[in-house]
């Protein structure tokens, strides 16, 4: 059985001019792209299969990331369900001139492993070890339940 530590991915990116808006801040869409890649790699590392994004639960942007900053992205599985996997991603910015590092963003994404026909495959079980991993494991079940309830509510509204 795999643990969350087995799925950890750490990516490092440098914010270049092409990655920024008129204010010199990293584009939110570019950061979302990097977050999606890190999460996909964690899901793939967990199940050793091709994985696709099923949903993005939430992404929070707490602090801007400026041109020239180094972006550190860390992703890890929080829970594996029957075929889906939730991944937590945290983002820090590093200002290489001042030597500071600040938490800027976090996100929860859901991925599914698929076969060559695009059909979902079972996800291997995940066994949390640390207290933080166990807490995230329990919280993942609540987030999943809320996602499913919201989906049912929206479907009912549409008739």
- Per-residue pLDDT of 10-68, as tens digits, reads 999 999 999 999 999 999 999 999 999 999 999 999 999 999 999 998 899 999 999 99
In the numeric block, which tokens belong to residue 51? 């994985």
Q: Where are the domains of the chain?
A: 4-158
Tell me the C-alpha distance between 7 and 150, whole Å: 28
Q: Which strands make up the sheet holding 84-95, listed edge to edge?
A: 9-14, 70-80, 84-95, 100-113, 51-61
User: The CATH number of 4-158 is which of 3.40.50.150, 3.10.129.10, 1.10.1740.10, 3.40.190.10?
Assistant: 3.10.129.10
Strands (DSSP E) along 62-99, which ranges? 70-80, 84-95
Percent of the chain with pLDDT over 70: 100
φ/ψ of 105, rounded to 5, equals -155, 160
Model confidence band, residue 159 (pLDDT cutoffs 50, 70, 90): confident
Q: What's the angle, vertex CA 126, arms to CA 76 and CA 49, rounded to 5?
A: 75
pLDDT at residue 125 in the model: 97
pTM for this predicted structure: 0.94
């Amino acid at each position: 059985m795999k643990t969350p530590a087995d799925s950890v991915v750490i990516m490092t990116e440098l914010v270049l001019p092409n990655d920024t808006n008129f204010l010199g801040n990293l584009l939110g869409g570019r950061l979302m792209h990097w977050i999606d890649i890190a999460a996909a790699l964690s899901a793939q590392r967990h199940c050793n299969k091709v994985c696709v994004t099923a949903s993005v639960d939430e992404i929070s942007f707490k602090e801007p990331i400026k041109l020239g900053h180094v972006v550190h992205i860390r992703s890890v599985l929080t829970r594996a369900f029957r075929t889906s996997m939730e991944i937590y991603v945290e983002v820090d910015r590093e200002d290489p001139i001042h030597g500071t590092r600040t938490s800027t963003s976090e996100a929860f994404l859901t991925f599914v492993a698929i076969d060559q026909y695009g059909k979902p495959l079972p996800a291997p079980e995940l066994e949390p070890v640390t207290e933080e991993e166990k807490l995230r494991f329990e919280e993942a079940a609540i987030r999943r339940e809320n996602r499913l309830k919201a989906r049912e509510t929206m479907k009912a509204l549409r008739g």
